[in-house]
Amino acid sequence: MSMVTITNHPLIQHKLSILRDKNTGTNEFRALVSEIAMLECYEATRDLPLEPKEIETPIGPCTAHELAGRKLCIVPILRAGLGMVDGILNLIPSAKVGHIGLYRDPETHLPVPYYCKLPQDIQERDVIVLDPMLATGGSASDAITQIKAFHPKSIKFMGIVAAPEGLQALQKDHPDVDIFCAALDEKLNENAYIVPGLGDAGDRIFGTL
C-alpha cells in the first residue's frame, strides 16, 4: 500500500487558511498555491539519494553531499496543477515538465482526457504528478495510468487538499504511488466538491469564476 503524507507544517497551515478563504483574490491565491507546493516539495523529495563529494571550504577539506544525479519530471494536470509548477521549479530547476490535460465532466464527475505531452526520456525519470485538488481521485488516477504507459522509474502524487474518497480511490488504483498533500478534508458534497475545500482551484488560479 502506498504511503500518504499530510504535510501539516505550521507555515503550510497558515498559508492554507488564506487559500481557503473565499475573499482571497486571484493574485494572492496563485502565489499561495506556488508557495505551498514549494514547501511540500521539501517533504516529497526527502528520499532523493545523495553521493559524497570532496570539497575545500575556506577552512579546510570537507566531505559534502550532493544529489546523486537522479532525473526528475513534474507533470501538472491542467489546468490547476499548473499553479504548483513554479514552486517546485524554484527548488528543482533542472526538472523537466510534462503536461496532462483532463477536465471533469460536470454530470458524471468522470475525467475527460484532452492532452498528454511527456518528455521523451521519461523512462529514465522519477515523476511527481501535480494537482491541488484530490476530490473523487478520478483525474489523478487517470493521469497516473496515462503516465505509467510510458514506464517512468517511479511516480509520486502531490496535491494540496484531499478528500478521504479521493485518497482511498487513488491508493486502490495505484498502490505503488506515494501521496503528498497539505490537508485531508472531511468529505465530498453532492457535486463532488471537497468540503470544506477551497472551491474550484482552476477557476481561482486563473480568475475564470
Residues that bind ligand PRP (CB under 6 A): 77-80, 102-104, 109, 111, 131, 133-140, 166, 192, 200-202
The least CB distance from residue 160 to ligand URA, in Å, is: 10
Q: Which is nearer to ligand PRP, 95 or 162 (CB)?
A: 162
Selecting among 105, 108, 121, 208, the annotated active-site residue is 108
User: With contact defined as beta carbons under 8 Å apart, do 44 and 180 qualify?
Assistant: yes
Residues 118-147 that bind ligand URA (CB under 6 A): 133, 135
Selecting among 104, 125, 126, 178, the annotated active-site residue is 104
Half-sphere exposure of 63 (CA within 13 A, CB side): 3
Enter the DSSP assignment of 122.
G
Is 104 noted as a catalytic residue in this protein? yes
103 belongs to the binding site for ligand URA (CB under 6 A): no
201 belongs to the binding site for ligand URA (CB under 6 A): yes
Strands 154-158 and 111-117: unpaired
15 binds, among ligand URA, ligand PRP, none (CB under 5 to 8 A by kind): none
Residue among 64, 11, 21 nearest 196 (CA) = 21
Is 46 noted as a catalytic residue in this protein? no
Residue 115, helix vs strand vs coil: strand
| Angle formed at CA 96 by CA 90 and CA 97, multiple of 5 degrees | 90
Query: What is the set of active-site residues?
Result: 104, 108, 200, 203
